[in-house]
Amino acid sequence: MSVLVVGSIGFDTIETPRARAVDVLGGAATYAAVAAQYFAPVRLVAVVGEDFPERERAFLAGRGIDLAGLEVRPGPTFRWTGRYHENMNVRDTLDLRLGVFGEFRPQLPPAYREVEYVFLANIHPGLQASVLDQLTRPRIIVCDTMNHWIESARGDLEALVRRVQLLVINDEEARLLSGESNIVRAARRILQLGPSSVIIKRGEYGAVHFGPDTVFAVPAYPLEEVFDPTGAGDAFAGGLVGYLAASGDLSATGIRRGIVYGSVLASYTVEDFSLERLRSLSRDDVDRRYRQFVGLTEF
Amino acid sequence: MSVLVVGSIGFDTIETPRARAVDVLGGAATYAAVAAQYFAPVRLVAVVGEDFPERERAFLAGRGIDLAGLEVRPGPTFRWTGRYHENMNVRDTLDLRLGVFGEFRPQLPPAYREVEYVFLANIHPGLQASVLDQLTRPRIIVCDTMNHWIESARGDLEALVRRVQLLVINDEEARLLSGESNIVRAARRILQLGPSSVIIKRGEYGAVHFGPDTVFAVPAYPLEEVFDPTGAGDAFAGGLVGYLAASGDLSATGIRRGIVYGSVLASYTVEDFSLERLRSLSRDDVDRRYRQFVGLTEF
């Protein structure tokens, strides 16, 4: 089954304590779509400017990603400049230029409306809701958000999360959304808002999935170097929803395996700047690291 | 098989953001011994002052802990006062009174010298080494330390860790000992110092075990409230070495299971001040939470 990915495409300028990359391919939807296509066909809804290079379009198309929903508008593509601290869980935004992304109003091509597996990457929750309004038979909606919307659009966000099956946010966002500092209590409070389950991402410490009666924790893959954390969370969500679409298994076990595949994609993503590592990554690589996750956690 | 535990016994005055406890039973050896005795007979080597109450001695003896190695000296028992921050991974020492612990020179009763399973809780590495000198046939030495010794007694510590099979330290200590901020590189560097393997404790994020060719990560048990983190690391090590002594299984799988049992004991310990939760904890409780760890991590 296909996966629908809706979100941002952009160019990032990234400084880490040890390196710098200028105007490299980024955007939440980009990472998620490329991660998801290891498992299932992907349909992408996003917007770029007329400056979006043919070679990047060819990269996405070459991965079999359906670009019928990729709108091209006059004006510049979204650009973000950020700097990571020595502790790479912390970053500062140095510059943000929305460009045509500021006019993004997701419109699904008719053929996309019957997609059952959906990842709503981080955009305004009102726009995320407008995507749900266009779907005829979604089976699982996986949804991300960010601090900015929790603070500035809480009403829209709370209305949205009642309609999603799986909210995927990081620990800081979970604390902000719930008002609870303890992560277990934060998750319980978030489930009261309506989503069937929530995944709390904890960067180098992995992720925890809370359902109504179950908890599943997976560590991050232990890496000797995290080169660039950008996009890890989106690759995680893309890998997860891609696996779910491929397997069709939305049982507790299916979601757990999807979370591990998501962790695999996230772990590869951070091994290089931008999507560089994913450009050369094979499905065999993905399956090999999945088996390493088994070895990392079994007792 | 028996376990030998060597370390401190004391009284703690503890402030957390939500509560305070005065002069409650503490000390690394206390937590470790009580945790280990769920699995195996424990022989304790420690020192207390003449003020050590009969009721606490009776508590330890009532758990079957052999107190032949518990020295009573004239003077006061070790006392520690600490305050935890809102982030309970961080604490300040407000007061420290060594009392008779300042004169602690571990002497093993003759019957203890043949013990094969050993936990050296945090004391001066020279004193830890003196314990090893008294053992006739140790099978596995599990060893803790602290920042203070890494900074002030590095030579003694490096000589010691060459003689231990399993170093158990927290992430901050691992970074200080190795000079590496990345935890995987820190572990590799520490293994070069000589221990066969190292466990890096990460508080609410669990623990990671690094052997020469293997990595095992276990999350912490997700708790809605961490009441008092004091002693969690010692209960972890005690549970681990206790399980190893009971099973005799020092294979990679055996050590992994021991790490999970250690995590079980740590998770209960933090549910109340001091050793309060352990006073009422049954072996059935331990086994039940072990099964919950299976459910928490399997996929």
Q: In which band, very low, low, confident or very high, does the pLDDT at B18 lie, cut at 50, 70 and 90?
A: confident
Q: Is the pLDDT of residue B86 over 90?
A: no
Query: Could B295 and A214 be called an inter-chain contact, meaning their C-beta atoms sit closer than 8 Å?
Result: yes
- Give the chain B residue whose CA is nearest to the CA of A256: B299
Domain that holds residue B112: 3-297
Q: Is the pLDDT of residue B90 over 90?
A: no
Burial status of residue A271 (CB atoms within 10 A of its CB: 0-12, 13-18, 19 or more): middle
Q: What is the pLDDT of residues A37-56, one digit of tens each?
A: 999 999 999 999 999 999 99
Give the containing element (helix H, strand E) for B209.
strand B207-210
Burial status of residue A136 (CB atoms within 10 A of its CB: 0-12, 13-18, 19 or more): exposed
Q: In which band, very low, low, confident or very high, does the pLDDT at B68 lie, cut at 50, 70 and 90?
A: very high
Q: What is the pLDDT of residue B125?
A: 98
CA A65 – CA A41 distance, rounded (Å):
7
The CA radius of gyration of chain B, in Å to the nearest whole number, is 18
For residues B90 and B229, is the Cβ–Cβ distance under 8 A? Answer: no
B188 at A interface, C-beta within 8 A: yes
CA B7 – CA B38 distance, rounded (Å):
19
Q: What is the pLDDT of residues B210-255, one digit of tens each?
A: 999 999 999 999 999 999 999 999 999 999 999 999 999 999 999 9
Average pLDDT rounded to a whole number, residues A284-297:
98
Contacting residues of A for B216, CB less than 8 Å apart? 296-297, 299
Give the containing element (helix H, strand E) for A14.
strand A10-15
For CA atoms B168, A217, B266, A184, give the dihedral sign: positive
Give how many domains chain A has, as a whole number: 1
Chain centre to alpha carbon of residue A32: 5
Q: Is the pLDDT of residue B81 over 90?
A: yes
Q: What angle do CA A246, A256, A116 make, to 5 degrees?
A: 35
Q: What is the pLDDT of residue B24?
A: 97
Give the predicted TM-score (pTM) of the model: 0.96
For residues A266 and A232, is the Cβ–Cβ distance under 8 A? Answer: yes
Q: What is the pLDDT of residue B87?
A: 83
Domain of A122, CATH number, reads 3.40.1190.20
Q: What angle do CA A7, A12, A14 make, to 5 degrees?
A: 135
CB neighbour burial string for B116-149, b if at least 16 within 10 angstroms, e if fewer: bbbbbbbbbbebbbbbbebbeebebbbbbbbeeb
B88 at A interface, C-beta within 8 A: no
Q: Is the pLDDT of residue A18 over 90?
A: no
Between A and B, how many residue pairs show a Cβ–Cβ distance under 8 A? Answer: 82
B218 at A interface, C-beta within 8 A: yes
- Give the chain A residue whose CA is nearest to the CA of B211: A296
CA A276 – CA A7 distance, rounded (Å):
20
Strands B78-84, B20-26: parallel, antiparallel or unpaired by DSSP? unpaired
A223 at B interface, C-beta within 8 A: yes
A188 at B interface, C-beta within 8 A: yes
Q: Is the pLDDT of residue A88 over 90?
A: no
